[in-house]
Structure formats: C-alpha cells, structure tokens
Structure 1
Amino acid sequence: MHQPPPPTRPRVLHVAQPVDGGVARVVRDLARAQLSAGVRVAAGCPGGELGAELRELGVDVRPWGAGRSPGPGLSGEIRRLARLVEEVRPELVHAHSAKAGLAVRLAVRGRVPTVFQPHAWSFEAVGGPTAALALRWERWGARWADRVVCVSQAERATGLRAGVHASYAVIPNGIDLDRHSPAPAGPARAALLPDLDPAAPLVVCVGRLCRQKGQDLLLRAWEHVVRQVPGARLALVGDGPDRDALRRRARALGPAVRFAGAVTDTVPWYRAADLVVLPSRWEGMALAPLEAMACGRPVVLTDVDGARESLPPALAPHCLVPPEDPGALARAIAALLPDAPLRASLGERGRGHVQSTHDVRHTADRFAVLYRELLGARPPVSTERRESLHP
C-alpha cells in the first residue's frame, strides 16, 4: 500500500540586525535548538560574526545588506529583503529587533506569517521627535505581525502602555546551559587578567558600550566602590559608540577599571568575576545576567523591564537597584563584594533558577508551539500571493 510522504517541517526564516550582542546570541542559540529539533532554519542578516556562527551550525544563511539603524537606504534594504523572502520561501518569518522588524513588516506586509521580537522597544532607545516617530511606527506596524513576542511581561506592559496594540506572546529569553556552566574563577582570571592580584575583588560588566547599558552610571558608582572596597577592579567587556567617552571618564580611576573590548566568548569573563553588574537604563530582558547566573555568578541589576522577572524573588533585595541611581548601585556592589558566602549562595540560587526557567530548549519548545499555532491558522502561501511580495 502506498504510504504518503511524511510532512515536511516548516522552514523558518530568522531576520536579524544587529548581528552582535544579545540579539545575535538569542538568534544563534534559538537556531541551534531549532535545528536540533528538526526545524529547517534559514537566516537573513548582514553577515558578521552571527552569519559565520549560523553557517557553522548548518543554517541556510542569506546575506542581507542593511545598516543598524533606519536611514536613506531603507527602501533598498526593504526591496532586498523582499527578494530574499521570495528566494527562501519560508513558511514563517521571525524578525529580531527594531530594525529587522521594520524592514520585515514593510517587505512582507502580512503575506507570510510574521513574528516580531523587539528585544526592547525602539521608542525607548531614542528621544524627542525620533522617539515619537518610532512609537508611531510601532503602533502602525503592529498590524503586520501575527505575534509580537516579548521576552518579559514588563516589556509587554510597556508596549501596551505606549499604545502598541498587538497580538502578544511572552516567551522569556533562554540560555544554552551546556555552554554557560559554573567553573572555578582562578583559571579564567589568570588567563584573562594575568597581572591582576588573584585576591582582588573583580566586577564584570558585559554589554555594548552605549547609553542603554549604563556603563557611565557604573563608572560614577565605581568611584564610591573603590573607597569602600580597596583593591576592587572593574572590567568592561564589549565595544560600542560610547567607548571613547567611557575611557575618558575612567582615566581618573586608573587601574581600577579595565576595558576588555569586544570578545567572541563571554563565558570566561563570567567565570572570572566575583560579581556581574548590568546597570541598564532599559531592557526587554537582558541576556548577560541570565548567562552570568547560569555560570553560577551573582548579579546586580537595575530594576528595568525584565530584570525582576529574570531573578528568583528571594534574590531581588540583594540584586536589584533603582535605575539611574549610582549611589544605590555602589552600595549594592560594596555590600556584596566582601561577603563571599552570600555571593556563593546567590550564585547557586541564580543557577538553579536559570536551569528551571531559562533553558533555551524550553524557549525553543515554546516557539515551536507558537509557530504551529500561526501556521495552523493560516493557509499555505500560494505562488500568486508570493508574487506580490515585492513592495
């Protein structure tokens, strides 16, 4: 008896810009988990480290020339993306971050099931007339997303308060627990900072050097930390547009602050740290604290969107401080650095929380359910409908 061929698994097209930092890590880890689950995965991005990593995983990577921010070349970027979608013929498109979300929704306009994941709202990243324009677009563009996926309930609430009325889903960020695991600090610290006194308390901040991540606030706090914890050292891991301004600010602190620059693997820095700090001004749900906790390290965070949800409730009194408050940040750091037993306890509890709540395999499972829901609610995209993709 003739048996029908098994149904093919859906082809998902991830579109990403930027191609570094937390967005790139989310796309990479999600793609790896989806490939392991048998999903056919393609990606459109401007290359970079993310493109190379995805190719190594076996993802069908298609170059998409696009800048990090909207500009005069946007119309060309949209046309190129429409052609890319036509070539890949995905069953579903998953756009990551504001720029990719803008281009995808204008290129596809609802003709293919579309998931938009902002990874923090665009209108929070700018001010004045630009913020008003970004908010107007997010309100308008929501009609071309079958789901807007937020990484925290707080991020969803921010969108709703701003008038972005969409069909929302909340799927917290996930961490690759095979890569992010505890290890003794000594070997990592000796390899990364061979001239550092092994007994010196070390705080690490991992993130793009930009206003969002708040390293300027951390440097202001650090002036107070070194008075209370002599010998404490701070390592800023990452690069970005605020690098030169931060270096100028740090000169007065001398050897108490190190700039590590951009790194391909942040895990050794987490393991080298006594404490990981992220003083963000806004987030959806930052990846660095989850990665640090997965490595068994305690964290101090500003209480912005997603921060409270990323922690077990018992850790909040030790680990959360008000945003834009260098004094409170300094007090929290200075209280934890001398208390090794408390740091060890916080790190252990944080690791258990991430294992139970933020395993990327669970995240991939939740996206699989969402994809099936969307694909089941939409008919297959016909050839005639695909021919209309070009804007």
Structure 2
Amino acid sequence: MRISLGPGPDRAAPAAREPHVLHVTQPVEGGVARLVTDLAARQRAAGLRVTVACPSGGTLMNALRATGCTVIPWEATRAPGHRLPGEVRRLARLVRAVRPDVVHAHSAKAGLAARLAVRGRVPTVFQPHAWSFEAVDGSPANAAVWWERFGARWTARVLCGSEAEWRTGEQRGISAQWRVIPNGVDTRRFRPEGISARTGAGPLVVCVGRLCRQKGQDVLLRAWPAVLRQLPSARLVLVGDGPDADRLRAVAPASVEFAGPALDPAPWYRAADVVVLPSRWEGMALVPLEAMACARPVLVTDVDGARESLPPGHLPHCLVPPEQPDALAWALTTLLRRAPLRAALGAQGRAHVLAEHDVRHAANAVIDVYRELFGIVITPVVVPSQSRESITT
C-alpha cells in the first residue's frame, strides 16, 4: 500500500542522539552515484550524521568525502554471484560497527545484500532506481521478482522515483509500504550558463549514460544513418563507458564520437542541440532532468518514469517507443530541423525541473520518510523562493 506523512503506529520515541543514516550502494558512477552524493550532502546540511558504504574506485568516494560524509569501502560486484555470501557478511559486520538508525540501500545489488545483512533489525529503506527483473528474461527475471516479493518483508519503505516504477512493482506482486519521490537534480550545478563542450559545426546530438543494454545506445546507432541521410552534417556524441563500449564502437559510423566518462556532464548538455536517452527500462532517469535543467530539449523512450519526467508540452515531440530506431530517427530529425521548437522546449524544461525536480525537494521528501520511521526532529533544507526562475517561452 502507499502511505502518507504524519504520525502512525510505526513511529518510535524520538532519538536521543544525532540521527545516523547509512547509505549502501554498489554503483560508483553515473546517475545512482550522483543521486547518492546529492542526498548525502543535503542530509548533512539538515543535521544528520551520514555514512556511505560503497566499492572503491569510480568517482563516488571522492565526491562523498567532499561533502563531509564518512565513506567506508564495501567491495561488491554489480551482479549476484558466488561472491554474494561474503559481500553480505562484510556488510553485516559494517552495519554492526556503524550502528545506524536507518539503512538506505540503492539499486538491486545493494538492496539484495543490505536486506540479507540487516533482515529488518534496523529500519531499511530500499530505492530500486529501476527494477532488476526488467533487465533480464526467463528464469533470472522470475528469480528477481521472487526475491523482491520476499525481501519486502525486511523493508520498512520502498522508495520509487516515479508512479510508473511503483505500479510496475505492484503489478509484479510486490507488497510493500511504498513512497513515490520523483528524482531531483542540482539546478544550481545543471543550468544553462557555464562551460560548453561544443566544438565544430553542424547539429549535435548528445547521449549521456553507461554504455550498456539498458541505455539503448545500440538502438540509437541503428537510427543514426537515417538521421544522416536527412542531415549529413549532424554529429552524435556518446558520453560514458561500460560493458558494451567495444561492441558499439565496432558498428558506429565516423560521425559518432565516443567521449568516455565525464566527471561533469553539464558541459555536454550545454553543447547539445538535442539530448537523447533511448533506454529500454528506467525508474526515472536523471539524464533528461539534468539536460532540461540546462535548458536543452530531450528525446526519451516511453519507459517507466519518462512521461512523468517531462512537462506536458514535451510529450508530442520528445517521447518515442523503445526499441524502434525508425521512430527515434524521425523524432531526432524533426527536432534538429526546428530551432524555435528546441528553444521553446528547452525553456519549458528548465522551468519544469525548477518547479518539480529540484534535488532539495527530493532530499526533504526522503528525510520525511526517515521521520516517519522513528519520529525524529530533522530540520528540512530550505529552498529559497528566489531560486525559482521565471522563464517565458
């Protein structure tokens, strides 16, 4: 069932010490890492004690330490396997040493390991960031669904980034105490003004994301020749790295640039005429929100969270079915040919993100979930009214 804020039977007596949150995450790059960093920073600003357990490597550890959080290495592979029992034992020891008031696990692997390690002894919040069973088929998918149904008994709250992600969970028979908190981005970091990565002439399409099946860059590369037939000077930049990098490079034409991972994707958003994310599945992706915060038009596939992330005026132009390169090529070509439309969509997108997807609002909503669990007094991060921009399209 879904729940609302306010006093309830599961509220405990106020904590006598500074509330302590332990975030557990396996991804150390990309959207999940950025979201964990933003949440940790906002929670620190609200007076919480924050510890994060994550693998070493990547950019996450340094970003977290810059916020003043305690970071503890927790080595874990991305997928379940023979290493899982050891990963669970190490995490259980870590939880006993840290003694958090709440454990907040991010994505499938950390959600699996954390709930096995804690087993409900500490209030546990799970945030899927896209369901694991959408990534696989057949027996692995059935096993993932079974686990999510079973693991829900050790989960105080399941946080979904979109209504669609919540509905997908319920449709698969997961019985949990749900909260839907739309993802947010740092609108001061992602803004139209600032450094741009733009070089050269011609229309520029940018795709930011891990190079993997989920993000659908292979579909984009199948669509790209049709775009070039209409706009021969167009260029495509893939920003990111991942397991499919070599395979994608092998089939990419000369007009496609592989930029590698970016510590700060904002310059690439500012450089783009259109930002595209042709995902096969998501919860609510950060890339479209970050691009809109930079006042750039986005083109996304109609997967979980996509419609909810876009303002109403974007839907006829910026949403295409997944796995359909012809539709993707047509929509890209249309946007690249219509500069006034791109400008209007960019301005609408920026206003929408400021109003609905500022990370400070999302962080306050997550703190409200913690407050539900044990009735602690936490001062929310104030979002100054003057930070909201007025944009006329």
Q: Same fold (TM over 0.5)?
A: yes
Q: Which residue of 1 aligns with 2:222?
A: 220
Q: How does 1:299-318 map to 2 (within 5 A)?
A: 299-318=298-317
Amino acid at match of 1:243: A
CA–CA distance in structure 1, aligned partners of residues 142 and 124 of structure 2 = 24
Q: Which residue of 1 aligns with 2:383?
A: none
User: Residue 197 of structure 2: SS of its match in structure 1?
Assistant: helix
Q: Name structure 1 gaps, 5 residues minimum.
A: 1-5, 378-391
Amino acid at match of 2:121: R
1:188 aligned to 2:200?
no
CA–CA distance in structure 2, aligned partners of residues 291 and 342 of structure 1 = 19
Q: Which residue of 2 aligns with 1:10?
A: 19
User: Residue 337 of structure 1: SS of its match in structure 2?
Assistant: helix
Amino acid at match of 2:219: L
Once the two structures are superposed, residues 15-52 of structure 1 have per-residue CA deviations (whole angstroms, 9 ceiling, x without a partner) of 00111111101101111111112211110011221112
Q: Which residue of 2 aligns with 1:28?
A: 37
CA–CA distance in structure 1, aligned partners of residues 39 and 140 of structure 2 = 31
CA–CA distance in structure 2, aligned partners of residues 365 and 279 of structure 1 = 30
1:90 to 96, 100, 107: 100
Q: Which residue of 1 aligns with 2:318?
A: 319
CA–CA distance in structure 2, aligned partners of residues 233 and 290 of structure 1 = 22
Shift of 1:87: 1.1
Shift of 1:313: 1.1
Return closer, same or farther for 1:138/1:69 CA change in 2, 3 Å cut-off.
same
Once the two structures are superposed, residues 223-278 of structure 1 have per-residue CA deviations (whole angstroms, 9 ceiling, x without a partner) of 1001111200000000011111111110xx22x11000111111110011111000
Shift of 1:13: 0.4
CA–CA distance in structure 1, aligned partners of residues 46 and 56 of structure 2 = 25
Q: Which residue of 1 aligns with 2:248?
A: 246
Shift of 1:7: 5.0
Amino acid at match of 2:225: E
CA–CA distance in structure 2, aligned partners of residues 280 and 65 of structure 1 = 28
1:79 aligned to 2:89?
yes
User: Residue 315 of structure 2: SS of its match in structure 1?
Assistant: helix
Q: Which residue of 1 aligns with 2:152?
A: 142
User: Residue 203 of structure 1: SS of its match in structure 2?
Assistant: strand
User: Residue 170 of structure 2: SS of its match in structure 1?
Assistant: helix
Shift of 1:376: 3.0
CA–CA distance in structure 1, aligned partners of residues 52 and 357 of structure 2 = 23
Shift of 1:295: 0.5
Amino acid at match of 1:161: Q
Report the count of equivalent residues.
361
2:73 to 63, 67, 70: 63
1:164 aligned to 2:174?
yes
- Segment drifting more, 238-247 vs 33-42: 33-42
Instruction: Tell me the C-alpha RMSD between the 2 structures.
Output: 1.3
CA–CA distance in structure 2, aligned partners of residues 88 and 28 of structure 1 = 19
Shift of 1:9: 3.1
Q: Which residue of 2 aligns with 1:385?
A: none
CA–CA distance in structure 2, aligned partners of residues 359 and 240 of structure 1 = 28
Q: Which residue of 1 aligns with 2:8?
A: none
CA–CA distance in structure 2, aligned partners of residues 329 and 78 of structure 1 = 42
Q: Which residue of 2 aligns with 1:383?
A: none
Bigger share in helix: 1
Q: Name structure 2 gaps, 5 residues minimum.
A: 1-14, 377-393
TM superposition score normalised by structure 2? 0.90
CA–CA distance in structure 2, aligned partners of residues 373 and 16 of structure 1 = 23
Shift of 1:330: 0.6
CA–CA distance in structure 2, aligned partners of residues 294 and 239 of structure 1 = 23
Shift of 1:325: 0.8
CA–CA distance in structure 2, aligned partners of residues 84 and 7 of structure 1 = 22
Q: How does 1:1-391 map to 2 (within 5 A)?
A: 7-48=16-57, 49-183=59-193, 188-190=196-198, 193=199, 196-197=200-201, 200-250=202-252, 253-254=253-254, 256-376=255-375
Amino acid at match of 1:285: M
CA–CA distance in structure 1, aligned partners of residues 16 and 354 of structure 2 = 33
Q: Which residue of 2 aligns with 1:380?
A: none
Amino acid at match of 1:34: Q
CA–CA distance in structure 2, aligned partners of residues 97 and 178 of structure 1 = 26
Return closer, same or farther for 1:56/1:189 CA change in 2, 3 Å cut-off.
closer
CA–CA distance in structure 2, aligned partners of residues 128 and 261 of structure 1 = 33
Shift of 1:189: 3.3
Q: Which residue of 2 aligns with 1:388?
A: none
Shift of 1:307: 0.2
CA–CA distance in structure 2, aligned partners of residues 189 and 40 of structure 1 = 37
Amino acid at match of 2:79: S
CA–CA distance in structure 1, aligned partners of residues 282 and 156 of structure 2 = 23
CA–CA distance in structure 2, aligned partners of residues 307 and 33 of structure 1 = 25
TM superposition score normalised by structure 1? 0.90
User: Residue 237 of structure 2: SS of its match in structure 1?
Assistant: strand
CA–CA distance in structure 2, aligned partners of residues 39 and 177 of structure 1 = 22
CA–CA distance in structure 1, aligned partners of residues 16 and 100 of structure 2 = 15
Q: Which residue of 1 aligns with 2:6?
A: none
Once the two structures are superposed, residues 84-104 of structure 1 have per-residue CA deviations (whole angstroms, 9 ceiling, x without a partner) of 111111100000000000000
User: Residue 24 of structure 2: SS of its match in structure 1?
Assistant: strand
CA–CA distance in structure 1, aligned partners of residues 95 and 188 of structure 2 = 33
